[in-house]
Structure 1
Amino acid sequence: MHRKAFLAALAAAACCLVTAAHAQSFPSRPVTLVSPFPAGSGSDLTARAVTPGLAEVLGQPVVVENRPGAGGAIGAQYVAKAKPDGYTLFLASLSFSVLPSLMELNFDPAKDFEAVILMGQQGMAFVVPTSLPVNSMAELAALAKSQPGKLNYASAGSGSIGHLAGELFKNERSLNIVHVPFKGTPEALTAIMMGEVQMGLIAMPAAEAQIKAGKVKALAVTGTKRYAGLPEVPTLAESGLPSLSDSVWYVVLAPAGTPKDVIDKLNAAFRQAIAKPATVERMEGPAKTAPSVSTPQEATAYVRAQIVKWNGVAAQAGLKPQANK
């Protein structure tokens, strides 16, 4: 019995030594951060804002690899099936939390990943045409109630966050408004600018310039505080709609089974990278993303809560998973 106990203890110690040695040697080659959306997207811009500083901290190149398609599912599946060694990471965003409600997946968003860090949040603006005679969310709701079925809301596609946010607004204020899906954010924003559609929740990288140019009106913004670029615009929470206040978040994920020591090392490296003034400038500039940091545990809890919330909204909207072709 003593011999068996000794051998078991020896094996456990050897395992710990291997894990520690792996963490100490990590990284010994380039790290890849997969963005599941095309070049120039908010995800891509945010990834490229952080990776130069991350490479400096890790002492290895960090490559942004775009794997767009299927609302982000293609990139997510690629990373979920990757070797869990810390060298292949995924930049999940708010759209990641609604994937289970949209399509049949070959991975589990809640179980097939280890969260590394919640590294930033990108605001959105609820906008209307300049010709619409409203200046607040309350006035918009009153107008919609007075004209049931006459007002439309735009989104970047069925099942997008803009779609689900419209459903939340509709349900919370008992409105009869009609969803009009477009091929993407630019098309949805153009339709609002032209007055073809009466409202929509648009990501800040696309919306801010048009708001400042006076081509659309911003009634409210997402986030826990007002957006610095539009300080006169209230938050959705201030407007009485806290359930709509979620910004586009960015969480770095690794494949499930990645050693804890590697996750912790990556978390520390991202924290150092995000603290660099040059990183902050890039994130807040073109990406319009407010930097943030978290522990892996906080990021895990946040993502899981978002999955529960948005899939509940999708179910209420009658969306059902479709085959991922």
Structure 2
Amino acid sequence: MKLPKFGVKAAVMTVATCFGFSAAAMAEFPERPIQIINPWAPGDSADIVMRKAAEYMSEDLGVPVKVINRTGGGGIIGATAIATARPDGYTLGLLTPGPAVTQVVMGNTTYGLDDLKPVGIFWDSPFVLAVRSDEPFSSMKELGDYVNAGNTVTLGSYAQLAVPSLLANIAAEKTGFGYTRIIGLDPVSTLSLGTGDADIVTLPDARALLQDESARGLLTLTNERISTLPDIPTFKEVYGEEASLWTGLFTPRDVPQEVFDVVSKAFQKALEQDEIQEYAKSTGAYAYFLDSEGSSKRIHNEAERFKGMIDKLTN
């Protein structure tokens, strides 16, 4: 499937000429504070872990490294600020699949897939496809068999084209069925798993019900099993493909390689700290590091996959 091309064409000139960088200046990086733009409100697990990582990066690099929240537009406002920032390494950003992938393939952004360069994908937030314990299915196969026997099943999700919903629908398609309807979650029904016949929710929303067996998990949108709920299979196990609600650290596209390497090395070192790994385990998240090349490949693969499902849900 051919994706549309987005973004402004780069001028045919070197970064040093265009932006006034000298070899000496790049060698001295960093000389001043670094900001990391988060396009979401503060307080979620990815924001918290990035602030922890920023402290370690600051110690390593010898300059302040601060996370700032620039919200709005479903993450597009912050992502645009990252993509259009001066490519000198002093402006970085956190991105998730929404502003980095799905909003791009839907044509909602002025930047393209390649206008943001991943330092690395590093965090998977745990989402679970869960059902109440009185539902007559306990696996994706049983759910598919139930639908194919003539029954209807609705999906509770944050929005039809939100990434969790897209992944839940991709899982259904791979199992051989489709949801009758997608119903928007609300705060009350989310906590009781009372929106759809199956709900795709965050682990904190479902944890208590799953642990007391008032609900059961059919699938996690993670690449590793959630340590506190080890019996629930992952999307990757069931379908052989990666699928998670990831967060990555990005730079503008044309950051000089020497500067990019300094950022990448400091970030990887920060992620290795015990405090960050322990925090990930406590939240059910997964902290790791997928390098720039691997992250870019994953982003382009997801663009193809998500565009296919978006087309099916909107046509």
TM-based fold match above 0.5: yes
| Amino acid across the alignment from 1:106 | T
The separation in 1 between residues aligned to 2:114 and 2:150, in whole angstroms, is 45
Shift of 1:176: 4.0
Q: Is the 8 A contact 2:193 2:206 kept in 1?
A: no
The separation in 2 between residues aligned to 1:194 and 1:285, in whole angstroms, is 23
Partner in structure 2 of residue 242 of structure 1: 240
The separation in 2 between residues aligned to 1:119 and 1:40, in whole angstroms, is 17
Shift of 1:84: 0.9
Which 4+ runs in 1 deviate beyond 4 A?
none
Larger mean CA deviation between 72-81 and 157-166 belongs to: 157-166
Point out where structure 1 has 5 or more consecutive residues left out of the alignment: 1-11, 320-325
Q: Does 1:65 align with 2:62?
A: no
Q: Does 1:136 align with 2:143?
A: no
Larger Rg: 1
Shift of 1:270: 0.5
Shift of 1:289: 2.9
Partner in structure 2 of residue 107 of structure 1: 111
Structure-2 change in CA distance of 1:121 and 1:147 (3 Å): same
Q: State the SS of the aligned residue for 2:286.
A: strand
Structure-2 change in CA distance of 1:308 and 1:44 (3 Å): same
Task: Within 5 Å, give how 1:1-325 maps onto structure 2.
Answer: 19-95=22-98, 96-108=100-112, 110-148=113-151, 150-182=152-184, 186=187, 189-190=190-191, 193-239=192-238, 241-243=239-241, 245-286=242-283, 288-318=284-314
Tell me the TM-score normalized by structure 2: 0.84
Root-mean-square deviation over aligned CA pairs: 2.6
Structure-2 change in CA distance of 1:264 and 1:47 (3 Å): same
**1:69-113 deviations in whole A, cap 9, x for unaligned?**
2221111011111111111111111223211244521111x2211
| Amino acid across the alignment from 1:236 | F
Shift of 1:31: 1.3
Q: Is the 8 A contact 1:34 1:66 kept in 2?
A: yes
Paired residue total: 298
Structure-2 change in CA distance of 1:25 and 1:205 (3 Å): farther
Q: Is the 8 A contact 1:33 1:91 kept in 2?
A: yes
Q: State the SS of the aligned residue for 1:37.
A: coil
Shift of 1:274: 0.7
**1:127-179 deviations in whole A, cap 9, x for unaligned?**
1112212221111112222344x311011113101221232133223424233
Q: Is the 8 A contact 1:35 1:43 kept in 2?
A: no
The separation in 1 between residues aligned to 2:93 and 2:104, in whole angstroms, is 17
The separation in 1 between residues aligned to 2:189 and 2:308, in whole angstroms, is 24
Shift of 1:272: 0.8
The separation in 1 between residues aligned to 2:22 and 2:204, in whole angstroms, is 42
The separation in 1 between residues aligned to 2:49 and 2:206, in whole angstroms, is 17
Q: State the SS of the aligned residue for 1:104.
A: coil
Shift of 1:211: 2.0
**1:34-67 deviations in whole A, cap 9, x for unaligned?**
1111122343233224222222222222211112
Q: State the SS of the aligned residue for 2:89.
A: coil
| Amino acid across the alignment from 2:110 | N
Q: State the SS of the aligned residue for 2:235.
A: coil
The separation in 2 between residues aligned to 1:31 and 1:183, in whole angstroms, is 37
Structure-2 change in CA distance of 1:285 and 1:26 (3 Å): farther
The separation in 1 between residues aligned to 2:67 and 2:165, in whole angstroms, is 28
Structure-2 change in CA distance of 1:160 and 1:135 (3 Å): same
Structure-2 change in CA distance of 1:310 and 1:49 (3 Å): farther
Q: Is the 8 A contact 1:211 1:218 kept in 2?
A: yes
The separation in 2 between residues aligned to 1:88 and 1:133, in whole angstroms, is 51
Q: State the SS of the aligned residue for 1:134.
A: coil
Shift of 1:202: 2.3
The separation in 2 between residues aligned to 1:298 and 1:189, in whole angstroms, is 34
Q: State the SS of the aligned residue for 1:317.
A: helix
**1:175-204 deviations in whole A, cap 9, x for unaligned?**
2423334267x56633xx253411133233
**1:198-236 deviations in whole A, cap 9, x for unaligned?**
113323344334422444311222334322121122223
